[in-house]
Structures are given as C-alpha cells and as structure tokens.
Structure 1
C-alpha cells in the first residue's frame, strides 16, 4: 500500500463534512496528513507542583478537590479549589452543567492540563482539560509529548490526533517510499523518512521541546532537507524546460557598443565590465539566457542592461524592458531614449494609461519592429500586444512581478520557434540564502562595485518631536547650500490610526514653513505626464524640495539631491528604506538621510532603524531584513507563495542548501523518476507558480 493512494475519507471519524474541512487545510490523502506537522507540543508526560507554576505556563497538575461552589458577579462562575502537597489553586468554569458540578466532590483526584494565570495572587486554570483519577499513586501520564496541530473551525485537536494515530499505525517503508538519496542521508547522518515522521508526530518522553519547536531536532531537519530538495528540483526542472528551448544566438555588438561607450561622460566600473561580459557570452548561445543581475542602488545596472539590448538590436532584433511601475518605466524610457537617440535607435513606450490613439500608434510600431526597444509595465504582455522579432526580455525589479509574469512575456516573444533571452535586474540585494532558493532557476551576476566618487550617505534616526529642527535644517540646506531634498511620506491620505503624515498635507505645511522654497509633490495618483513634469522640474533644479510617497523608491536619478527625510520609517521594510535612501548620494557632495520616526518604537523597530544608521551595505541590510520579516516579505507579495515551506526555513536551514543544490542537480540528471516523485510529494500543485 502507498499512503498517497488512500483518501482521507477512508479513515474512521471522517465523514463528508470533516473531509471537506480537511481538504481546505490541504489534506486530501493519508500522506498529506502525515506531512501536516504539529505547530507545537504540550508536555503531559509529567506532573508539576502547584508551587512551581508561573504565569502563562502550560502545565499539568495532579490535584485533590477541596471544595467547589458558584460565585455570582458579572458572570456566573464555578470555582473549584484544589490542592497538592505544595499548595492550592483554583479551577474556573464559565460554562458548566449541574452534573459537572456534582462530580467535583471533595476528596476527588484530578489530572488537569491548562494555561496558568494568577488571580489575586492565587494560581488558576480556566476550563482545564480534566481526567478523573482513581489511584493518585498511578496517574495516567502520557509517555509522549502531545502534538498541537494547525486546525480550522470544526476540526479539533483530539480528532487530529486520532486520525494521525490511524495513519501512523499503517506507516512503514513500503507505505511511504524512501526518496532521499543514501548519499545525502549518510552525509548528514539522517534517519529514514518513516522514523522521522513518527518522531515529530509522537515525540517520546524527555525530548527537548525547544529543539523540536526551533526545528533543530534531527527528525525535523531530515524532513526539511527533503522539502528543500523537492523545491530545488522543481526550480531546476523549470530552468531545464526553458533552456531546452531554442533562442537566437546573438553575436557581440561591436559598432553600437563602441558608439555607446564613447558618448558616456564616465568610464565603466570593473564590476560592470565583468557582468556585461557574462551577459554577452550567454547571449551568444543558441538557448535562452536566464540571468539575474543584482546590484546595490547606484551600481549601474541600467547601463549594463543597455549594453545587452544593443547586442540584440545590432543583429536586427527587438528588446522589451518591463518595469513594475509607470514612473520607473518612464524613467527607463527617458534614459534609454537619451542614450539611443544618438545611435539612431527607436524607443517605444507602452503603459496602460496611454490614450487610445497613442496606444494604437505604439502597438503598430511594436508589431512592425519600428520600435526596436519597447519599455513598459505589465501592459507589455496583454493580448493586443504583438512583437515583431523580440529576442531579449529585460525585467526590472523581478520580485515585484513573479516568475509567471516574465514567463508570459517570454511567450509573447516566441518567434519562428525560438524564445527570447531573459535578463532579470534587481536593485534590492537578495541574501545569498534566499537567492539559492527563490532564484535557483537563474544564473546570478552581482555588480559589487559603486562608481568612483560616490560617498556613503550619513543616516540619522530622530523622533518626530524634533520635526521643527529638521524642517529648519532642510530649509537652510536648500537656501544657503543650494541643495535639493526629498521629503518622503508613507501615505497619500491622512490616517490617524497609522499616525502617518499625508503627503498632500505635509506639502502644504512645508510650503507655509518654507515660503522661499519651490516645493513639488508627487504620488501614485498623479497622471503619468504630471508625475513626469514634476520629476523633470526637480531634476532640472526648478524644484528645491520634492514631497513624495514611496513612488520615488526606484529609478529616479537627481545627482544634486543630497538630503532626504523619511517620515514613519518604522512602517517600511529595510529593503524599501535602503532603496529610498539610494536616491541621494549620487553626486560629489556629502549626503544625509533623516529617519523621522513616531515614538515609542518597538524593540524590533529600534533594531531595524539602527541597522540603517550603521551601514549602507545593501546585502547586510537584506540579510537583516530576511531575518526580521521572512522570505515572503523580502521577495515581495507576488512571490510570497513561492517560499511557504511546510517545514523548511531558509534562514534556519541555510547550512543544508549547498549540499541540497548539488544533490538536486545529480538527481535530476541520473534519477528523473525519483526527482519527479519528490516534487509530487512536497510541492503538491505549487509548481504552477512558474508556469505560464
């Protein structure tokens, strides 16, 4: 028998209603039930003395009933005073029957389990789980830790334990095939799967609760290893599926590259040269490039992308660049138009808010190939868009899209049986542990060098109580030092509940406080041409102070801006704060960023802002962000589902990742059937995130 072949309805106690509720929890088969692991455990293997109990503790006591009675107050309460040799405590019941009251007779022994609270200095348990004990010298203690499972309405813990007991009784090697290779089991000295599952569902007396809950017990590590391996296999299979397709091999661009470099007022960094060469070699291949380019803010990723685009355009092909927001798409379009106009290359621009006539004209230019480089948002892969000869897709800030969206754009570019190359860029440094998992289908390049002359931004963390001083300093810098500044607000509309200053209100207040300054306002609700006009005015120096929401997080380059104030920074993630701060410090002058927080800060909030004050290193910040917020938040909402592991944790289990990657490659090449079985066991339908 194979446990994956048996439906959950074949277990005792599972009727249609319960079956439906279990299905909503992702439990369809007996195997699913085994992989639905406990959240935590209760220790009912021992009895604790009343005198040793502490507030909030979950504990089991063996006690004798002294007396009981009903107390009338705000609510009718049955209070039963019980004791052991160390002291006395109360059992409290808000819902009870006459029969239950009658059973609580003086002299009766009880085994009680519950959460401890103290009421007027007396230990209490509210509605504890109770077992009537005949012989107090031999109480019915469990010989295992009691599992507490994730459940839903209508599915209680006793039922989950009863069902799990039934399946555990059927668990042996033949019923749940061992799929983890012996090499990896031997390397990490791991038990077989059946033993690991038995242990985590029914840990024996004496097992360390801390080790179990923290995921550090060998049994949980064994399961985490297999889940990580299944995930890696699914990502590698996705990559193999793509690279098995044909792409147009592109020779190195010579004339356009040389002309492009000659017009630049600066030289490329060594890191840019290295990454450009890596991309060039990929594009020469007859199968699609899948490369992620990481670089901290200001490292010059856009220029690297431009050089890649020229390699395709010189061969007569089209390039598409997809950005997550219209303001970033506009910024890219402006940059590429400036660079490429001198090279006689036509740049197109496609976003959802174009007028009907403009859209028709742009679609015509894209379909004819007249638009050699097309910059846009997700509008690029809508049904009405037809490319001529698309052979390179550049995706900026990949984590805001999700794999399936760039795959959709890939299908748009299918031309004469060949698919486009893919270049993925991100200015959000991705911790190595996360990149090894979330982007296992991509080769990775890192631009780890900033242009010469860039000075690190000095960051100050100040409470909102010092707002007036900050306003005075900004005015002084803009008037006396001829600086330009950003004032970043986290909301457009006012919200008392979140205590966040609205951008529009802030702009009005600052205009009153600084009447001699030219103040602009930009946020996501403005029309594209309005945003563009304001940003252009700021870039040209016509605006001294730009009040903005986080729409200026990426893509805006104003070298003269060297001062930034970010309100309510405690509401933003570290990576987003780092992105915002990266808008300044692009010139030769010293730059300052003020994080103006609302007191009091939580301990977590203090730690986060302190990291921003201490370092400008995006990768260190990203590691801390991952540690604090978890992979789903760091990657962005579009990919949250990607790393929702049942057991594994990419931070905790990072030591396993290098070996997992090695074994995944070997397994996919040498034992594809085993690889498929592992994916089916653990991914259970989640692979579709990577499909078109």
Structure 2
C-alpha cells in the first residue's frame, strides 16, 4: 500500500476527531482519499477586476475603499457597505452580521472581496461576499491558481477542504503515490503522469480552459477517467475469472427433446432464435459455467430460447431452475412450460413465496427428488430449497436481481461444488455503453428479430382533457371483439395511493362502459386474485383490464390491441416501452395512447416524443440512458456498481473499448498492478462480486 493510502487524515494539521468524522461522511479517511476528492468546479480569483468593468452574473475579486457602512431597516435588517476604487462604486449587502463586523468596516478601510455580482436597488451589489481587510502599504498577493470548489457535507467548509488538499499536495510524489499505469500503456493511450494530473485538477493555473474542465475533456481529467474505468473493468474481469474458474457440468448437445419440442411448437423459430440457441448450446457443452445475457426486445421470443437450453440439460439427466422477479411473471412461465413440457412427459415443479403448508412441503420434496424443471420467484434461493442435480439456472429480468444473488447460486449446484450454468434474459435492452461496463462479466446475445405476425404498435399522446374521447375509443375497440388495457401509474411513489387510483378508475370505467366486462388488477391484491383476473382476461371473458404497472412484464394476451397509459410522464422510457409491449402480440394493428396531464417538463416531452417516434427497444434504451443516467437504469440493486468518482459513462463512453483491451493487457503483462488499482479506486465498493 502506498504511503498516502496508508496515512490517515488525522496526520494533517488541524484534523481532530470531530473533523475526522465529517471527512469520513464524504469518504475521506486517508490522504489518498483527499487527493482523489476532486473539485466540482473552479472560481477565478487570480486577478482583481475594476468595479467599473463588472457585469451582472460575474464571479469576481474586487478591491476598494469603504466609503460608508450603514444598517438599513427594511423588510429585513441589513448592513450595506459602499465600496469605491476610482472606476466605480459597488454595494456589499449582509443580512447576517454582528456589531464587530460593522465596526471593522470603518470608512477608509481597504477591503478585498469575492462574490457574485448582481443588480440591486442601488446599482451593482454582492450579497455576503467573502472579504478580508488589506494593509494599504502591503496588500496580500492574489491567488496564483484557480480556486477549487469541492463536494462537501454539513459543517465542512470549502476553506477547510482547500487547506487539507494543499497540505496533501505538498506530500505528493512518485514514492508517496505510485503510478500503477505502466509507462508503455500511458504512452500508448497518450496519458500524462498521475501526480501531474492531480496537481493540475486541485490547483489549475490562471490560464486553464474552464470550459474544457467543465466538460470533462481536459487531459488531466482523461488521465483519471481512464484509470478509474480501467479499474472498474479489472474488477469485472476478476469477477468473471472467479466464476470461470469454477467447474460446471458439461451438457452435450441434445437431439431428441429439442426436436420434439420444436415439432409441437407450431411455428418455426426466427433466424435470431436459432443463432442464439446455437451460442447457448455451445456454452452449455463446456466444463466451465456459461454466463450469457440474452437481450431481446419485447416479444422477441426469449422464452423459446430458454426452453431449448433447458431441454439440453434435462436430456443429459440434470435439473433446470427458472426464476422470475414477480409471482405473476413466474406463474406465467410455469403455465407456459407446463403446457410445452406435458407433451414431452417432463415434470414441472412450482415454488413461490405464496406457497404454504403441505403444498410447499410437497414442492420442496419434488425439487429435492430431482424434478427436472423448476419454476419460481427468488424463493428458489432460500436455504431450505435443495436441488438434486441443478445444472442450469435461467434468470428472467436480470436487472431486478442483485449481482450477489446471482453469484450465490453456485451453492445450489451439483454436490454444492459444480456451479450451474447461467442464462440471463432481459426484455429491457441494455445500451451498448452500459453492457460494456456493467455487464462485462457476461457474454451477450441479442434477439434482434420479431417473430412473423407481430405488428408495430402505433403510439399517440393525448392530453387528459380528451379523456372521454379515449373512453369511446376503448368502447369501439371492444365492440370489434378486441381487448384493452388501462394502466394507472404511480402517484408520488405510493403503492397504496396508486391502488386506490386504479380502483377509482375501475369504478368510473365500469359506469361509463356499462355494457363491457371490466377487470381490475393491482399490487395489493393477493397473488391468487391477480392470477384469477389475468386468466379471465386471457380467456377473453374480460374486455377491459384496469391495472397498475404490475402488468409491465411478460403478460401475453394476443387479442389485446389497445393500451391506455395514464400519466405516462411519471414513468421512465424503459417502463413505458415494457408496458406498450403488452399489445401488438397478435396480428391485429395495435395502438398505445399516452394520456398525459399538462404541462409537461422538458424530459416528459422528450420521453413521449421518443415513444411516438420508435418501437425499437435499443434506441429507447440509449435515450433512456441519456435522460436518466446509468444508476437509475440498472435499478437500485446495481447502482453501487456505477458510483464513479471521475468518470461519466455517457460522456466517457468512447474510452470503453480501449479500456477493455487495456484491462486484459494489464492482467496478462502486469498482473501485480491490478490489486493496488482496485484498492485505490474501489476500496469502499470492493465487495462487489464477492459472495
């Protein structure tokens, strides 16, 4: 460990226990932490601006003589100081001040102050400037560098952070902070030395390009961005190696069961399904665990691919577990697999949280005895669940499961030694930039063809003042023999209020559409009630289904061709796209109506425009990433992965291919450099990937 990484902040002058606690709140425990705590922006205090040259909105250093200082009794008591420098007059206004402060502003005092200039009642003013009295005969020199503004917390001032960074910079050298980027690599990617980059970013010279720094394009920032992204890749490569080093059961290519299944399916798989099927079959035949992510837009037929993979394991005499994030989706998978596998005489077991008593005990017994196909929720992870010969795990909607949960699966494998192969499916297309960073431990396959007969969904946005027209549109569609969804979205993140809103909408629509059979489904209903309503809708006994976003994932009713989404501005693009994917599953032309409440925010307008313009999930995912940022897109469980200090996935995406190559080269040629880099950048988050 380097000297600065091993030295606690208490080694700095003026850091006692109270300050140490405040610094720990922003992650500053060692001197190395102080160096990597970089400024958010900078102020230019390197020159004194004549008062006559000041402009509103400018941050500036000014120096002048106090002409007067008086306390004004307006709506708020304030101290008003008039400052003159021969080129003009400026007012300094203080709302919080003491008598001693006023006494220090005697007429004729030379003051140097800094702050934002704004228009006021008596010309230009600065509210609460930072100021200091100067000795007329020997005024203090101005700052020699730009002034950094650091991320901070309550009770931790900018002045204190500057003092600490100044003390730490004095100790910075090649011995105290080794540069772990090999010189050859730094030269190849044209990256400057680490110490120079840190010095520059903490104290940029007066002629620094502030715009370049604000946009993150400066060479000193690029140097740190590269090292941070490289370290992130190393952690994922290490995770991947840990997983790859485990052994798995090699499952030979199957002939009999997949062929029987396809013969009974009634349609031919698309070219994309066949290609991805071959990639999976090849991985399953290897003695190390498969780690494959299958991305497919809504309705691309991921489940068929999963069934073919399952049959390869079952034909070899092993068990398969399929896990989904919600009971409603897990149940749908269970019914599908039960229907498909009944013809092949393969038992399908079911396990979810709601299964209690004898039914649960019987299910656990069947799984332990070797039921070939097991479908359920994350209840499958519980300690009491024992598998006889688990060789493949299929996880639907990976972003709902933490990485830790995924890794915990190896304990469930054959003899608790052989890790099961993992097939992860998502209908939330992951933008390439995110896949290269957040999912670098997985191989990726893409289902980029929709099955024949699928029709693109026409999307329109309508203001809620036209609600009655929309209700009439639902009536017309149902009279033509079609079915419709009416989705009520989250009200201020409260599930209870959303369910109440859905109930109210349900009652209103029952009155308005008295001749139709209307159903209701929401998150507070018991799973059995939800399943019963869905079954009725699927069977065509209900024509309109009022629902909350619980129907977002995986519900398949080909006859439903109209979707109304209320308050779509409350949802992210990925969620809107998922919801829209519930229609357009049959051959009829389908429509999605976004019923919004004006006025819309800028982001709200952009979201609805994108939904109208495209049905392509990957385009939508890229836009969603731009609008929301990576942490939100991956779901809260994954955000720890993306708390970058310097890098920004959107801005720095161009580095990712180079960084991936560099990580492999570093591990091959300079393996001893990996651990110190991980220690430097991921000390707080290094448990990522460790079970």
TM range (shorter): over 0.9
- Please state how far the C-alpha of 1:495 moved relative to its aligned partner: 7.6
Cα distance in 2 for partners of 1:483, 1:58 equals 63
Residue 543 of structure 2: aligned partner: 544
Seen in structure 2, the aligned counterparts of structure 1 residues 135 and 609 have a Cα distance that, compared at 3 Å, is farther
Shift of 1:57: 4.4
1:564 is aligned to 563
Mapped partners of 1:101, 1:417: distance in 2? 76
Superposed counterparts of 1:127-276, under 5 Å = 127-135=128-136, 140-276=141-277
Aligned partners of 1:390 and 1:415 also within 8 Å: no
Whole-Å separation in 1 of the counterparts to 2:683 and 2:555:
42
Give SS of 2:63's match. strand
1:454–1:48 CA distance, 2 compared to 1 (3 A): farther
Question: 2:438 aligns to what?
Answer: 438
Q: For residues 319-398 of structure 1, what are the structure 2 equivalents within 5 Å?
A: 319-369=320-370, 371-398=371-398
Alignment of 1:489-508 (within 5 A): 489-491=488-490, 502-508=501-507
Distance 2:587 2:235 in 1: 47
1:4-49, Cα deviation, whole Å (9 max, x unpaired): 1211111111111111221222111111111111112111123345
Q: Which residue of 2 aligns with 1:44?
A: 45
Query: What is the match of residue 472 of structure 2?
Result: 472
Does the Cα contact within 8 Å between 2:40 and 2:150 map onto a contact in 1? yes
Partner of 1:2: 3
| Residue 575 of structure 1: aligned partner | 574
Distance, in Å, in 1 between the alignment partners of 2:361 and 2:492 is: 35
Q: What residue in structure 2 maps to residue 654 of structure 1? A: 653
Contact (CA 8 Å) 1:224, 1:648: kept in 2 or not?
yes
Distance in 1 separating the partners of 2:498 and 2:83: 49
Residue 79 of structure 2: aligned partner:
78
Distance in structure 2 (CA, Å) of the matches to 1:56 and 1:517: 62
* Residues 518/83 of structure 1: CA separation in 2 closer, same or farther (3 Å cut): farther
| Equivalence for 1:305 | 306
Moved more, 79-88 or 504-513: 79-88
Please list the CA deviations of residues 153-208 of structure 1 after superposition, one character each: whole Å capped at 9, or x if unmatched.
22211111111111101111111111113343223311110001101111111212
SS at match of 1:172: coil
Shift of 1:378: 1.5
1:606 to 1:385, Cα distance in 2 relative to 1, 3 A:
same
C-alpha change, 1:227 and 1:357, in structure 2 (3 Å) is: same
Identify the residue that residue 665 of structure 1 maps to in structure 2. 664
Structure 2 residue matching 1:688: 3-state secondary structure: coil
Paired residues of 1:494 and 1:501 also in contact (CA < 8 A): no
Q: Is the 8 A contact 2:411 2:417 kept in 1?
A: no
Mapped partners of 2:283, 2:326: distance in 1: 28
Q: Does structure 2 retain, via aligned residues, the 8 Å contact 1:63–1:110?
A: yes
CA distance in 2, matches of 1:79, 1:497: 53
* Alpha-carbon contact 1:40-1:148 (below 8 Å) kept: yes
SS at match of 2:108: coil
Deviation at 1:213, TM superposition (A): 2.2
Q: Aligned in 2, Cα 1:416/1:498: closer, same or farther, shift over 3 Å?
A: closer
Q: Is the contact made by 2:488 and 2:498 (CA closer than 8 Å) also made in structure 1?
A: no
Number of the residue aligned with 1:457: 457
Query: How many Å apart are 1:406 and its aligned residue?
Result: 0.9
Count of residue correspondences: 690
Deviates more, 1:21-30 or 1:648-657: 21-30
Q: Partner of 1:603 in structure 2?
A: 602
Q: Which moved more, 1:680-689 or 1:226-235?
A: 680-689
Match of 1:518 in 2: 517
Verify the 8 A CA contact 2:300 2:449 in the aligned structure 1: yes
For residue 290 of structure 2, what is the aligned residue in structure 1?
Answer: 289
Report deviation, 1:645. Answer: 0.4
* Closer/same/farther in 2, CA of residues 120 and 410 from structure 1, 3 Å limit: farther
After superposition, the Cα gap between the structure-2 partners of 1:352 and 1:15, relative to the gap in structure 1 and judged at 3 Å, is same
Q: Tell me, what secondary structure is at the counterpart of 1:68?
A: strand
How many Å apart are 1:99 and its aligned residue?
A: 2.1
More displaced, 173-182 or 386-395?
173-182
Aligned residues of 2:91 and 2:122 also touching (Cα < 8 A): no
In the alignment, which residue of structure 2 is the partner of 1:681?
680
* Unpaired stretches in structure 2, ≥5 consecutive residues: none
Contact 1:500 1:567 in 2 (8 A): no
Return closer, same or farther for 1:493/1:127 CA change in 2, 3 Å cut-off: closer
Equivalent position of 2:35 in the other structure: 34
SS of the aligned residue for 1:67 comes to strand
- After the TM superposition, which of the residue ranges 433-442 and 18-27 deviates more from structure 2? 18-27
What displacement does 1:597 show? 1.1
State the alpha-carbon separation in 2 of the partners of residues 496 and 488 from structure 1: 14
Match of 1:423 in 2: 423
For each residue in 1:34-75, what CA deviation from the matched residue of structure 2 results, as whole angstroms up to 9, or x when unmatched? 111111211112334556655554333333322111112343
User: What's the offset of the Cα at 1:137?
Assistant: 10
Determine whether 1:631 maps to 2:630. yes
Change (3 A) 1:83 1:544: farther
Rate the CA distance shift 1:313–1:94 in 2: closer, same or farther, 3 A. same
Residue ranges of structure 1 left out of the alignment (5+ in a row): none
